[in-house]
A and B are shown apart, each in its own frame.
Chain A
Amino acid sequence: MKLYFRGIFILLLLVSISAKAACMSVSQADTVLADTAAFVSPYEEDNQRCFTCHGQPRYEYTNETLGKKVRSLMAEGRIVRKDEFYRSNHKSFSCTDCHSAEYVNFPHAGELRMEPKLSCLDCHGGDETYHFDAIAEEYQQSAHFKLDEEGFSCYSCHDPHTYRISKRTKENLKETIAYDNAICLNCHADFNRFQLLSDREEINIIKQHEWLPNQSAHMASVRCIECHTQINENLPVAHLIKPKAEAVKRCNECHSQNSMLMASLYKFESKEQRKDGFFNGIILNQSYVIGANRNEYLNVLSLLIFAGMLAVIGIHVYFRIRNRKNIKH
């Protein structure tokens, strides 16, 4: 009998593992196909002229004065990975939509480097889908804005060549968290980039967050911006980065019934599923927030059991008092 149950358990486990593996491989394959093969840019040929040199770290050209082939390394900031570009939100653009048309000539004229770059709002001003103007307003109040003079801009976090908006769904939440956190870590965990904008002598994210219990679980399950931005119900993603001293440090802000994660990380799900309670929303996200995930049925059941027990004890006490003369000790 025991063997029989063990057999069923192992079988169930195998079925669940293989089903999950099958689902994962199908969805991953779909994403890759949709991202690359399906998209063909109308400017592919034009863009390819730029990618020939700017698409990888090494480039070569013929120096016509000397009549020699020259191989050289491309400066890191001038490299745009072709596959990443064609997966990005701007994949349907031609390079010269944003950069001067004169770049088609090689060697590029020196003064072209000095031309002002387009800013996000030059195209996205007045945009009603992503509220770029509101984002710009938030940015101007954020801790990052004080570095504006030193060169901080939207592009510091969102490279227009590679940025792709990750629409949050229940299935890809962990991916979104990792993608969004990588944007912050790009500078805050890479001293070479960090020192372009700051004179601070060291950065150590892990040490700074040592006070957080189960740090790695927190880092994988929430985004940096959950604690480091001012919540804004009207924006898909809050952009008002608060100074370090104002970051959320109280556990209860998330670990409570009205968890602030409902207004940030789980905003999309919570709107859909608020009627079912927080528990159901999170159960599908494979995350667990102590104090915020409460099963109402279990709460009620536990209260009923506890009240029932106290009632039985009460009745027992009553009969003990009433029959105290009969009870032998």
Chain B
Amino acid sequence: MYLYPKWLRAWHVLNAVLFIILIVTGLSMQYTGKKDYVLVVGFESAVRWHNSAAVILTINYIFYVAGNILTKNGRYYRIKRDSFFSDLFKQMRYYSYGMFKGEKHPFPVTMERKFNPLQKLSYVLAMYLALPLVIISGIGLLFPEIVAKGVLGVSGMILTDLLHITMGFFLSVFLVIHVYTCTLGKKPGTLFMSMISGYHASEDHYDLED
């Protein structure tokens, strides 16, 4: 089934490349030593690449939000309130136990349901909480004069930066888990191919069997 439209795939690939650039350059800045090239990039080029990638990421994020508002893609992120915890538990049980016992996927992918409950929650947290916070705090670090001087005696820049690196860290963790869970398709590479072609071959073939 055709699940990933062109605009989404274009956004996704650009977002992925920018994420990697931002993580590498971000780490380079946070952990610089006296010698250059402690990690991959020296401080000066890390600052330049980080700033440029961040500006593109921000524009790309606006494009993503607009896409979700203007197309039907946004509905996939809506979390069901009444069965939120029980659905989450079912999915976690499947990943940690059921799948090894040969159980069927509790929330197979359909045109109406692109994400399982765990995916929904992590995508909403990453895209609608962590990413906006990282962008806002990043703008604050880029233009220090707009940051509040201090809150309760602690420097505003420190708080802004703590927020930025904490959210950056959680997004890095998200990225690794996201890439790993994408190996859970039919073959480890199946889901990656879907994100390139746009067509999803459901791991349970529910769409074909039903």
On A, residues with C-beta under 8 Å from B are 12-13, 16, 20, 213-214, 216-217, 250-253, 255-258, 282-283, 285-288, 290-291, 293-295, 298, 302, 305-306, 309-310, 313, 316, 319-320, 322-323, 326-329
Distance A78 CA – B158 CA, assembled complex (angstroms)? 47
Counting chain B CB atoms within 10 Å of each CB, the highest count among A16, A214, A251, A309 belongs to A251
Distance A111 CA – B150 CA, assembled complex (angstroms)? 58
Also in contact, A283 and B145, with CB within 8 A (given A290-B30, A326-B100, A326-B102): no
B75 CB within 8 Å of chain A: no
What is the minimal beta-carbon distance from A320 to any residue of chain B, in angstroms? 8
B87 CB within 8 Å of chain A: no
- CB–CB A252/B42 < 8 A: yes
Counting chain B CB atoms within 10 Å of each CB, the highest count among A290, A294, A310, A326 belongs to A290
Distance A298 CA – B29 CA, assembled complex (angstroms)? 16
Also in contact, A258 and B34, with CB within 8 A (given A283-B155, A329-B203): yes
Distance A309 CA – B174 CA, assembled complex (angstroms)? 10
Which residues, 96 to 143 on B, are CB-close (under 8 Å) to A? Answer: 96, 99-104, 141
What is the minimal beta-carbon distance from A72 to any residue of chain B, in angstroms? 46
Which of these, A213, A287, A310, contacts B155 with CB under 8 Å?
A287
- CB–CB B100/A252 < 8 A: no
Which of these, A12, A282, A306, A319, contacts B100 with CB under 8 Å?
A319
Per-residue interface assignment for chain B, residues 13 to 24, with 1 indicating a CB less than 8 Å from any chain A CB and 0 otherwise: 000000000000
Also in contact, A328 and B204, with CB within 8 A (given A250-B36, A291-B32, A309-B176): yes
Q: Which residues of A contact B59 (CB under 8 A)?
A: none
Which residue of chain A lies nearest to B164 when distances are taken between CB atoms in the complex?
A290
Q: Which residues of B contact A288 (CB under 8 A)?
A: 155, 157-158, 161
Which residue of chain A lies nearest to B174 when distances are taken between CB atoms in the complex?
A309
Which of these, A255, A256, A282, A328, contacts B102 with CB under 8 Å?
A328
